[in-house]
Amino acid sequence: MIAHLHTYHIKDGTNNQRIQDLESAIRIINQEDRIHRTELGLALDNAIKRKSKGRMLLPKKDAKHMYVFMPLTMKNWDGKEKELELRCIVARYLNPSVNTVIGIGIGTNGKGDSVYDICYHYIPETSDDFIKQAREIQQELGYFENPKYSSNSDYSIEDFKGFGIKY
């Protein structure tokens, strides 16, 4: 994933803020323990299998970050980066206990190559203007209007079926 992000998302013209955001997102993902990273993969796989347009994964207990997963398809290909960004804004609005949202989009480019998109939003406080804009995005685009909240353990219990992961 790191090599892909560097190859496809860091170009000569990439600004420093974008590079720092990508690095911050990767650092947070890498700090997750092995079991949680596995659960993240299972949740993403589940979102793809169920053809979800987007999925919010609730934060672990006491965590200040959460994830938004979005399968990439030919239907959302042209606006995939913007859609992922906007879904993360709505997710932050809907989850006031977090200050960071990491968005991960995954799919294929139609040529059989895996493609990853990632975004990072650190929003320590939400202003009235932010809340207003997030609500407008949610209402106009329908992102997470009737969200199904899931936690990591929902996927690991279902997918591991007693392979040593206990909750």
pLDDT along the chain (167 residues), means of 10: 60 73 81 80 77 82 89 76 94 95 84 81 96 96 81 53 40
Listed by start position, the domains of the chain span 2-143
Instruction: Please give the Cα distance from 149 to 56 (Å, whole number).
Output: 7
The answer to whether 69 touches 104, Cβ cutoff 8 Å, is yes
Q: Does domain 2-143 have CATH number 1.10.357?
A: no
Report CA-CA distances (Å) from 108 to 54, 56, 112.
Answer: 16, 21, 6
Expressed in percent and rounded to 5, the helix, strand and coil fractions of the chain are 45, 20, 35
pLDDT score of 91: 95
